Amino acid sequence: MSQATQPEASTAESAVYQRYASAAQAVEPELCCPVDYRAEYLAAIPDEVIQRDYGCGDPSRFVREGDDVLDLGSGGGKICFIASQIVGKTGSVTGVDCNHEMLQLARRSADVVAVNIGYHNTSFRYGLIQDLALDLDSLAHEIASQPVSDAAGYLRLRHLEDRLRAERPMIADESIDCVLSNCVLNLVRQHDRKKLFSEIFRVLRRGGRAAISDIVSDESVPERLQKDPDLWSGCITGAFREDEFLKAFEDAGFHGMELVKRESEPWRTVEGIEFRSVTVVAYKGKQGPCLERNQALVYRGPFKKVEDDDGHVFRRGDRVAVCDKTYGLLQQDPYGEMFATVEPREEIPLEQAVSFDCRRSAKRDPRETKGTDYDATSDLPAGGCNDGACC
């Protein structure tokens, strides 16, 4: 589990690689938080993988059977091998890491796990998690035939990288159901972080989700601490500030971000700044046209009002007019049973639906769903309420 680090501090970046390369050979307890993984999945995984796992959570709990899964900063492969058993024969798991030693450990363990579980559905790629289109194995092969020795060669290399991304992307657009990561995003350089979240969003299918465990801080980390190679490579001072971590998902286009786990006690405290493990789940799917089909949602409570990631405000008990997209979205995870649905009496075919202005949060008049000429009167059930037919 290793990626690029602090912008100008190449010593810190080198420290990350060297530390995780060493950790692939010998266990380094300071690189991990205590995590309870499900024992039934660990039996199939080689001990050397389990002992050299450096995570802070278990995002695999949000994987589903049949998923195509991507693990960012997959290290020795532990989360991948757990996920491979959850997705089953119909799913697939791909790990991405840029540390050769960790990749070697994962790749040689994959066949062992396949024998133990009865099928092979994992693969491991050499790449940067903030550039998921560029396969570094493919790049290395191309460079071997055309070595870079001058400025002209450097320009050719840049064109080569662009061609590989376009023609042979390591991870294709909208090819993944669930993106996982376990204590790795904090190791990515500050100026690469916007691209990192953009890449996670790019590779996910519509309706897909990201489940990310990482270390966050309760305060902004001073630059002098970020430049400390040991603190950065130890997953400490590269930590996102807790609120900014959630905002990064929002800025990338995700919806339904949920802090599904937050440790009450800090893992480490440095100069009064607390660093703790969290797991965030975020969803892709709120993009697309807004169409009017006379639907409404009623927020059940318990809060007086809530606001979704598109700015719709739902007051408890109100029939709020929504577009067809929002109507479907808020009936899915992670919203559960938060809303009651109001369908129109006469369905408007999708191809006949007109544009809906989602910038407003307006009540839906009952006559919009029932129809202006609706004048039905229901009869009292035979026997009244005594036979239980009415309630």
Helix axes 193-203, 242-252, angle to 10 degrees: 50
Amino acid residing at 292 = E
Predicted pLDDT at 98: 94
Distance, in Å, from the CA atom of 380 to the CA atom of 391, rounded to the nearest integer, reads 11
Amino acid residing at 194 = K
H helix intervals, the chain: 10-23, 39-42, 47-51, 78-87, 100-117, 136-145, 151-167, 193-203, 223-226, 229-233, 242-252, 324-329, 366-370
| Residues 6+ away with beta carbon under 8 Å from 92 | 68, 69, 121, 122, 123
141-149 average pLDDT score: 89
Tens of pLDDT, residues 326-357: 999 999 999 989 999 999 999 999 999 999 98
Amino acid residing at 337 = E
C-alpha pair distances (Å), 75 with each of 52, 183, 184, 216: 9, 11, 9, 20
The pLDDT confidence band at residue 383, using thresholds 50, 70 and 90, is: low
Tens of pLDDT, residues 44-94: 999 999 988 878 999 999 999 999 999 999 999 999 999 999 999 999 999
159-181 average pLDDT score: 97
Q: Is omega for the bond preceding 334 within 30 degrees of 0, making it cis?
A: yes
Tokens, residue 267: 């893992």
299 contacts 317 by C-beta, under 8 angstroms:
yes
Cα dihedral 122→124→128→133 (10° resolution): -70
Strands (E), 271-338: 273-283, 291-292, 295-299, 305-307, 313-315, 319-322
Predicted pLDDT at 26: 44
104-117 average pLDDT score: 97
Strands 291-292 and 92-97: unpaired
- Is it the case that residue 15 has pLDDT exceeding 50? no
pTM: 0.87
Bridge partners of residue 178, in order along the sequence: 69, 209
Report the range of poorest mean pLDDT among 47-51, 172-176, 377-381.
377-381
- Is it the case that residue 23 has pLDDT exceeding 50? no
On the 0-12 / 13-18 / 19+ scale of CB atoms within 10 A, 28 is middle
Distance, in Å, from the CA atom of 163 to the CA atom of 158, rounded to the nearest integer, reads 9
Distance, in Å, from the CA atom of 335 to the CA atom of 342, rounded to the nearest integer, reads 16
216-234 average pLDDT score: 87
Tokens, residue 262: 């937050």
Distance, in Å, from the CA atom of 391 to the CA atom of 381, rounded to the nearest integer, reads 10
CB hemisphere CA count around 23 (13 angstroms): 27
